[in-house]
Every structure is written in structure tokens, then in C-alpha cells.
Amino acid sequence: MPRLVGRIRGTWTVVPPSPSLRAALTYGAAAGLAASWVKSQAEPVLQRLAEAVVPPTPAEKGRPAADPGNTAVMPPALVVDRAEKALTGTPASLEQKTALTPVLHYAMGTALGVGYALATRRSDRAAAGFGTAAGAVAFLATHASTLPAAGVQTPPTRLPAAWWVWEGGSHLLFGATLEAARRWWLRSR
């Protein structure tokens, strides 16, 4: 049953009931997969557009995380390489990096989708900016801090200016896709 949550500009706002935990986990995982796909499709387009305006130097393009076209130096590939070295003592092959990079990318997106579903289940405020705030938080929590601290990405201050556009922009689209999926799911119930 819908609940009344308060007055907005003189009228009561009706909000659908919160989804069950099981439902939130399910649609969160599905939304995370969809948002990861949107992000992966948007990155090359945003990269081309941004680099046309602010071209990076060849040295900048060679830095870890500076070019998604160079899978071998993107953070998931470097994580695969570290894991392989820890397990076998030898570096991961390009084939291993290429095969496992999307697995890590979609696993992370799925986990973030579930986290978003659980957060918005508690409060609609977590959906601020049609999910773009969550996308910005994901960007800040990974590419702007954790990944550089772990040594699998160049610090953002040393990456090309275009990187901020395509990496940051793709994360905003990731968050907006999570919210679009959530709203679709809530309306379809």
C-alpha cells in the first residue's frame, strides 16, 4: 500500500511501498548489470568527444587507466595481474587480462547496483539527481581514491583532462541508469 510522506508545494506526495529485501537484491543486481553495460558503451564515445576537445599527450595516454582501448593497463586488468602474481608468481597474460576484465567490471557494477537498491529502499534521498549523485559517489570511491591508493590506477591529478569527462561522465550515466531501472521496476509492480 502506498504511503503519504509529506507535503510538497501544498499537496501530499504518494510514494510506493519499499520493495522487499529479496526484490531489492534482485532488481539491484539486474540494474547494476544494465548500468555497467551502459557505462561500457558510453566510455568510448565520451572518450572520443573529450579527446577531440582536450587531446592527451602520448605519455598521458600510456598511464594506467588513461585509455580504455588499452585493456592491459586498465584497473581491472592490473587487479587480474596482481592476483595471478600472488597465486602463481607469474604475471597474467594479455588473454587472461582481456577475458577477466569484463568479469570484474560487471561484478563491481552488480555489487554497486545492489548497494544502490538497498540504499534507496531505506531512503529516496539516495536517488538524488536521478541517480547521478550515486554515480558520482561510485566514481569518487573508486577511480578518484581507492584505485590510485591501491596502485592500480594513476592518481587522477596525473591523468589527462579528457579522462575526467569520459570516466566521470560514464559514472554519472551509470547512476542515472540505476535510477531509471529502479523507477521502471517500481512502476511495473
In this prediction, residue 1 carries a pLDDT of 45
- Answer whether residue 15 is part of any domain: no
Residues in the chain with pLDDT < 70?
1-17
3-state SS, residue 188? helix
3-state SS, residue 148? helix
Integer distance in angstroms from the first to the last C-alpha of the chain? 11
Burial of 119 (0-12, 13-18, 19+ CB in 10 A): middle
- Answer whether residue 14 is part of any domain: no
- Answer whether residue 8 is part of any domain: no
The kind and range of the H/E element at 14 are strand 11-15
In this prediction, residue 181 carries a pLDDT of 96
In this prediction, residue 101 carries a pLDDT of 94
Considering only CA atoms, give the Rg of the chain.
Answer: 19
Going by C-alpha positions, the residue among 14, 3, 16 that lies closest to residue 187 is 16
- Answer whether residue 9 is part of any domain: no
Rounded CA gap, 146 and 135, in Å? 15
In this prediction, residue 14 carries a pLDDT of 56
- Answer whether residue 5 is part of any domain: no
In this prediction, residue 111 carries a pLDDT of 98
Give the count of domains, the chain: 1
Angle between helices 75-88 and 94-122 (to 10 degrees): 120
In this prediction, residue 147 carries a pLDDT of 96
Note the pLDDT tens digit of each residue in 29-78: 999 999 999 999 999 999 999 999 999 999 999 999 999 888 889 999 99
Structural domain of 69: 20-188
- Answer whether residue 30 is part of any domain: yes
